[in-house]
Amino acid sequence: MEAKRIDQIVAEHQGAPDLLIQVLLAVQSEYNWLPKAALTRIGEKLRVPLSRILHIATFYKAFSLVPKGRHNVHICTGTACHVRGASRILDTAQDLTGIGAGETDLELKFSLETVNCIGCCALGPVIDIDGKIHGNVSTGETADILERYN
């Protein structure tokens, strides 16, 4: 984490404390997570207490206080996807990546998450990787899809 880069991100948001969430989003986009040193620096530059920043960073699921993989894999386990075999897709993804839901692999390649609904119920089961939707996924296709992100 470079203090200069954090300062630049804060400056891009006019150093305004009311833009804290946007600053946090920008920092997370840059580093793929919110390092404590970055949060401390943001607090200093915006004159916002670290406790308030941590409250916000832990409230919103979009933020992570631990390193995340380069590729965010979201497997829908909502009702429509569940009845079409989402649990088998999740099991296959866990076997292929070596991580469970809510985890990140040691190489920081993949972070695996389950979500209740992606909003593509007619395409279930669905895998969302870095915002790209893969629908009607079979267990056999799961390996091919993940391989594209190596």
Percent of the chain topping pLDDT 70: 99
Return the SS3 of 111.
strand
Give the pLDDT mean for 11-23.
93
Cα 90 versus chain centre, distance: 17
Q: Which residues neighbour 37 within 8 Å (Cβ) at sequence distance 6 or greater?
A: 1, 3
Binned at pLDDT 50, 70 and 90, residue 127 comes out as very high
Per-residue pLDDT, 19: 94
Statement: residue 1 has pLDDT above 70:
no
Statement: residue 150 has pLDDT above 90:
no
For the entire predicted model, the pTM comes to 0.79
Statement: residue 102 has pLDDT above 90:
yes
Question: Tell me: the pLDDT tens digits for 40-85?
Answer: 999 999 999 999 999 999 999 889 999 999 999 999 999 999 999 9
- Structural domain boundaries in the chain: 3-59, 71-147
Which alpha helices (H) appear in the chain, and where do they start and end?
3-12, 20-31, 36-46, 50-59, 79-83, 86-97, 139-147
Structural class in CATH, domain 71-147: alpha beta
Return the SS3 of 67.
coil
Q: Average pLDDT of the chain? A: 94
